[in-house]
Chains A and B, each alone.
Chain A
Amino acid sequence: MNLERSLIAFHNVSYIYPAGEKPVMEGLNLAINAGTITAVLGPNGAGKTTLLHLALGWLHPSPGQVELYGEPLKNFSRRELGKWIGLVPQSENTPFEYSLLEYVLLGRTPYLAPLAMPEEPDVAIAAEKLDEVGLKGLHSRTMTSISGGERQLVLIARALTQQPKILLLDEPTSHLDLSNKGRLVQLLRQLQARGVTIIFTTHEPDVASALATHMVLMRKGEILKTGTSSEVMTGENLSALYNMPIQVKKLDGKHVVIWDEKVN
């Protein structure tokens, strides 16, 4: 793995939360190449979300360094980072009755000067992204009246409105039904084809293997295994990751995950 050529590189990254006693991450090294889709898998509390927040530049490693094209993240301004990297949080509720279009328009902020307001072209981009995630015709519905799955699609549309080169998604499929999952997989593949690099966390190995080119298996703040999906997606690796018997079978060229409820 060539760290210098990577889009995002973690060099010996440790992180301890301000109120925490022991580090959630220690000496982690990872390289993500441009144009890949990386799935981050691991049990609850493995540090997956922390990994995304470090890649976002929101959390600062101590010690260690996260680099974007070989340049430490902290050398970028917030607005520059906002144009580079979009975040789709796991869930987000607003108590205010924003229309979907108003909400998605917030994604244009990195392109606006501090006191500037979005203009026509910004609204056009926001509308286009809403259509792209499949919410055509719902632009004036309110955030408080849509379903959890639709809300997740809105969050993705907002991140796309940032026109980022890197998209970070925290469990993007957790509120989606099967057809919306399918739509999301398709959408993310199209983004990849347009050169967007994608990193997402998930608890669903089947979604990971359907979508990802690369996988990172995390456990207790450490990387258990990383590589291309076909290398990593084995029963042995997943069993070790989740500490339970898991088999991975190939069926029609797809990985099928079979698990046993007996925890080791």
Chain B
Amino acid sequence: MFWLVVFLIAVVVFSIFLGRYPKPGLITISQMQDDLLAQRLVLNLRIPRVLTAMLLGASLAAAGGVFQMLFSNPLVDPGFLGVSQGASFGASLCIVFLGGSLWAIEGMAAFFACLALALSYFLARRVKYGGWVLRLVLAGIAVSALFSSGVGLLKYMADPLSQLQAITFWLLGGLSSITWKQFLFILPVVVVSLAVIFGMRWRLNLLSLNDETAFSLGIAPGRERLILLIVAVVATAAVTAVAGLVGWIGLIMPHIARRLFGADTRYMVPGSMLCGAAFAILCDDLARTLLSGEIPLGIITALLGATIFIYLMIRQKIPVRK
């Protein structure tokens, strides 16, 4: 774990110096001293961007780990209860009808993410058959489908020259527009959410058990599940609002953390946060340096995430309940 922290710090420092200005590669200290533009670039764009990527990765990975434990299913991620589709719908709605103001997009995405969660939750309570997890899964699928059809409709209605591009870029995810403003906007929410998840990490183990068993071990399964579910969704909604849809981190990072530190959430949770943070920063490095134009971050994480997933599947490291 100590070495992972060191690795993350190294990744942060490396990424701050990495870029395509003045030429592709690492910027040197002397260039920074001579070139005012380089200084501004590093201070006002690269540092907040790298730090936001760190929060993004840590939040998605921690939320993914929490979801996997709460639903006792290793193949679940924060998009599971309609949260991602809800956020997409909110952002698209905002782009089409309220203009593309960043704050409005962020607010609407967060609002609809929470709405989607609430809808999934109440729908699941109304379903008359199956266990609680199955009902939540079904409700999540239905709510996701509703919002994604909404997104489809909005894309159809959008002005193809301006709005459609904005929606598409948001749906693909990326950090190209991040400044200190966005970073500071999500910082408090993310820090509080991650602190709650970190603090409750031992009890998270017990929340993957049956309710009555968790109760017999002295905890309040219903209440503690709800707390963790809310903070995981809030953290996801916050980072999604500024970065757009970035997939796969929440699904894959907990598995890598389990490989490194075991299944015990005492170690898996911080391990996921660190792995997720480093992974998101490195993916974003690729997104902004690989080509002269920006590649959407969601494409890179999906490409690398799916590759890792296939590797893990073939090596049978993801145990699936029969």
Which residues of A are in contact with B by a Cβ distance under 8 Å?
53, 56-58, 78-79, 81-83, 85-87, 89, 92-99, 102, 106-107, 109-110, 112, 114-118, 142, 144, 159, 162, 168
Residues of A within 8 A of B161 (CB): none
Give A95 to B72 CA distance when docked, in angstroms: 7
B219 touches A99 (CB 8 A): no
Query: Nearest Cβ distance between residue A140 and chain B, in whole angstroms?
Result: 10
Interface SS, B side: loop
Question: Top 3 A-B pairs ranked by shortest CB distance?
Answer: A82-B218, A110-B218, A87-B216
Residues of B within 8 A of A99 (CB): 262-263
A116 touches B213 (CB 8 A): no
A109 touches B262 (CB 8 A): no
A78 touches B263 (CB 8 A): no
Residues of B within 8 A of A81 (CB): 216, 218
Query: Which listed residue (B72, B73, B218, B266) contacts A83, Cβ 8 A?
Result: B218
A89 touches B263 (CB 8 A): no
Residues of B within 8 A of A87 (CB): 212-213, 216
0/1 interface trace, chain B 45-86, chain A, CB 8 Å (1 if under) = 000000000000000000000000100111000000000000
Q: Is B131 an interface residue (CB 8 A)?
A: no
Query: Nearest Cβ distance between residue A201 and chain B, in whole angstroms?
Result: 14
Q: Is B103 an interface residue (CB 8 A)?
A: no
Q: Which of B263-279 contact A (CB under 8 A)?
A: 263-264, 266
Query: Which listed residue (B200, B210, B321) contacts A115, Cβ 8 A?
Result: B200
Residues of A within 8 A of B216 (CB): 56, 58, 81-82, 85-87, 159, 162, 168
B319 touches A106 (CB 8 A): no
A162 touches B217 (CB 8 A): yes
A102 touches B262 (CB 8 A): yes
Query: Which listed residue (A82, A95, A97, A102) contacts B217, Cβ 8 A?
Result: A82
Q: Is B21 an interface residue (CB 8 A)?
A: no
Known contacts A95-B319, A99-B262; decide if A109 and B206 are in contact (CB<8 Å): yes
Residues of B within 8 A of A117 (CB): 202, 266
Most buried by A among B200, B203, B212, B262: B212
Q: Which of B233-269 contact A (CB under 8 A)?
A: 258, 262-264, 266
Query: Which listed residue (A57, A79, A97, A112) contacts B202, Cβ 8 A?
Result: A112
B219 touches A109 (CB 8 A): yes
Residues of A within 8 A of B219 (CB): 78, 109
Residues of B within 8 A of A118 (CB): 202
A58 touches B215 (CB 8 A): yes
CB-nearest residue of chain B relative to A155?
B213
B319 touches A144 (CB 8 A): yes
Query: Nearest Cβ distance between residue A84 and chain B, in whole angstroms?
Result: 10
B202 touches A116 (CB 8 A): yes
Residues of A within 8 A of B200 (CB): 115
Give A94 to B116 CA distance when docked, in angstroms: 28
